[in-house]
Chain A
Amino acid sequence: ILNVEQSPQSLHVQEGDSTNFTCSFPSSNFYALHWYRWETAKSPEALFVMTLNGDEKKKGRISATLNTKEGYSYLYIKGSQPEDSATYLCAFVEDDKIIFGKGTRLHILP
């Protein structure tokens, strides 16, 4: 069973501050990495699908980078807003199987 590790588990950030968190995954046999946002009482929604080493993706104030050689991805949020409060999941794809980390729970403080 492969391990997808996310850190930190939980994070409190002041509104307006920027933040980032990490996903680490096996560097061998890489196929794709996904990031999802999971808001309370909703279902996870995809943010990014990343496939190439050095990929950088951006959606509004959220961006992600990928390093497949060393097995990590960072998710960045610029100028945090209350609506960014959610759990952020990364998922490693192996043999078409999507394996999730436990997530980073982000709380934005007003």
Chain B
Amino acid sequence: NAGVMQNPRHLVRRRGQEARLRCSPMKGHSHVYWYRQLPEEGLKFMVYLQKENIIDESGMPKERFSAEFPKEGPSILRIQQVVRGDSAAYFCASSPFGATEAFFGQGTRLTVV
């Protein structure tokens, strides 16, 4: 059973470009969480999704950031018009049910130049 897969592992974008981060949850998991890790900070909650639904996006900036988890395919975290402050590691986790043990991907390190 493959683990949570995130790609790309590293992503470099120029200011103003779009970044698309993908997360394929573990097989059978319908709950996905996205977190951002800034230097010297822990994992900051961004958004919690179930298949085709955003359950809680209270941790996500109101502008430029969006997330989806379609019926088919991976969950996508999309950042439009990236700025230097968006540079961080973005982690995705999945679980079979809400609030049970979360399984993490390896993260995507976004660098905005």
Q: Which residues of A contact B (CB under 8 A)?
A: 1, 31-32, 34, 42-46, 49, 89, 91, 93, 95-103
| Beta-carbon contact of B99 and A93 below 8 Å | yes
| Beta-carbon contact of B42 and A98 below 8 Å | no
B93 adjacent to chain A (CB < 8 Å) = yes
| Beta-carbon contact of B99 and A31 below 8 Å | yes
B113 adjacent to chain A (CB < 8 Å) = no
Q: Which residues of B contact A (CB under 8 A)?
A: 4, 31, 33, 35, 41-45, 48, 55-56, 58, 91, 93, 98-107
CB < 8 Å A-B pair total: 57
When the two chains form the complex, which single residue of B41, B93, B99, B106 contacts A96, counting CB atoms closer than 8 Å?
B99
When the two chains form the complex, which single residue of A32, A43, A46, A97 contacts B107, counting CB atoms closer than 8 Å?
A43
Q: Is the interface of A mostly helix, strand, loop or mixed?
A: strand
In the complex, the chain A residue whose C-beta lies closest to that of B104 is A43
How far does the Cβ of B55 sit from chain A's closest Cβ, in whole Å?
Answer: 7
| Beta-carbon contact of B42 and A49 below 8 Å | no
Sample of 13 A–B contacts (CB below 8 Å): A31-B99, A43-B4, A44-B91, A44-B102, A49-B100, A97-B45, A97-B48, A97-B55, A97-B56, A98-B45, A98-B48, A100-B44, A100-B45
Q: In the complex, A45 Cα to B44 Cα: how many Å?
A: 16
